[in-house]
């Protein structure tokens, strides 16, 4: 009679595993060999190109720049309006005496050869026009570094203007500063730092920054609203409020630091999504909830209707508010 039961396993003679066909091993080996070979070639090419680019950029840095300077002056009334559209370079506004606006322009270009740098410099066109008390300044140096062209160009402006002036400035790359000016400001900065020193801001003023720090030292005139916005960088305000002021601060990634006189009358609303809030000198409570925090209250408990409003919102970073 035939036994259909499975045979017991013979420990002395284990079953032989299925062998992988030699053809499959050969194909797999060839595939990975070619893949790793190509990867190595691409990596080598990348290293070589990086070395060549670095050497050329270093040589460019060693080349002396070609520069050109000019100065223009304009007679204006008591409260002129300056409009600046700068693409690459630094802009400085400095309060002066009298009813004159003076624009000092410094153009710079750098390339692998002197002739190429001269051509780049000549391609930078500056437009300065006056319409009544409005001075408009525009340059066409579209980018400070043209990496693949191995060249650099920029335009710096130093603008001396009456102490009472309005400023509208848009800058793509570079630092912007305002010193000693009283007036409304509207500043749009893409990449660089913005510094306002000894200023008195009026009207509906605003400073919007995409990548860089905003630093303001000064005060707000009665009825002024100030909107500060930054995508990546710190915001620092060290100054004083008058009455009927609204200070709004919106930060995406960075710290916010506000320093105001102890006697400041304001209602404060502050909140942070990922960070902490520190308030020193005023009895305003802080509520923490995991990574987020919020604070709301009046700086002066005796004020039933505070004279000003402060709103601070931060997505990622700390909020530090100090009474000086």
- Given this model, what pLDDT does residue 260 score? 98
Q: CB of 71 within 8 A of CB of 155?
A: no
Is residue 80 exposed (0-12), middle (13-18) or buried (19+ Cβ within 10 Å)? Answer: buried
- Given this model, what pLDDT does residue 40 score? 72
pLDDT band at 25 (very low <50, low <70, confident <90, very high): low
pLDDT, one tens digit per residue, over 110-163 is 888 888 899 989 989 999 999 999 999 998 755 444 444 567 888 999 999 999
What does the DSSP assignment read for 10-73? -TTSPPPPPPPPHHHHHHHHHHHHHHHHHHHHHHHHHHHHHHHHHHHHHHHHHSPPEEEEEEEE
Q: CB of 242 within 8 A of CB of 226?
A: no
Averaged pLDDT for residues 291-295: 97
pLDDT band at 63 (very low <50, low <70, confident <90, very high): confident
Of 199, 78, 81, 168, nearest in space to 131 by CA = 81
pLDDT, one tens digit per residue, over 184-231 is 999 999 999 999 999 999 999 999 999 999 999 999 999 999 999 999
pLDDT, one tens digit per residue, over 258-267 is 999 999 999 9
Q: How far is CA 66 from CA 60, 63, 113, 174, in A?
A: 12, 9, 10, 19
pLDDT reading at 43 higher than 90: no
- Given this model, what pLDDT does residue 88 score? 82
Helix, strand or coil, per DSSP, at residue 252: coil
pTM of the predicted protein model: 0.80
Spell out the residues 6+ positions from residue 100 whose beta carbon is closer than 8 angstroms to its own: 73, 74, 75, 76, 160, 162
């Amino acid at each position: 009679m035939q036994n259909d039961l499975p045979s017991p396993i013979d420990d002395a003679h284990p079953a032989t595993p299925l062998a992988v066909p030699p053809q499959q091993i050969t194909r797999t080996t060839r595939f990975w060999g070619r893949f790793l070979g190509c990867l190595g070639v691409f990596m080598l090419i990348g290293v070589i190109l990086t070395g060549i680019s670095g050497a050329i950029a270093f040589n460019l840095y060693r080349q002396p720049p070609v520069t050109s300077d000019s100065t223009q002056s304009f007679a204006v009334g008591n409260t002129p309006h300056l409009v600046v559209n700068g693409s690459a370079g630094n802009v400085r506004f400095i309060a002066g005496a009298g009813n004159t606006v003076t624009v000092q322009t410094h153009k710079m270009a750098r390339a692998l050869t002197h002739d190429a740098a001269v051509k780049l410099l000549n391609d930078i066109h500056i437009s300065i026009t006056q319409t009544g008390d409005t001075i408009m300044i525009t340059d066409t140096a579209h980018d400070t570094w043209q990496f693949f062209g191995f060249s650099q160009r920029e335009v710096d402006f130093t603008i001396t203007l009456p102490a009472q002036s309005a400023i509208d400035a848009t800058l793509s790359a570079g630092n912007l500063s305002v010193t000693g000016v009283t007036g409304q400001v509207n500043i749009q900065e893409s990449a660089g730092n913005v510094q306002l020193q000894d200023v008195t801001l009026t009207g509906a003023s605003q400073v919007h920054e995409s990548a860089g720090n905003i630093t303001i030292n000064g005060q707000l005139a009665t009825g002024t609203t100030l909107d500060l916005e930054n995508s990546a960088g710190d915001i620092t305000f060290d100054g004083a409020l008058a009455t009927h002021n609204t200070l709004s601060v919106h930060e995406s990634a960075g710290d916010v630091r506000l320093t105001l006189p102890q006697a400041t009358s304001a209602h404060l609303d502050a909140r942070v999504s990922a960070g902490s809030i520190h308030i020193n000198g005023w009895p305003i409570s802080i509520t923490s909830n995991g990574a987020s925090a919020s604070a709301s209250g009046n700086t002066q408990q005796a004020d039933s209707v505070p004279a000003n409003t402060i709103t601070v919102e931060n997505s990622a970073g700390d909020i530090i508010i100090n009474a000086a």
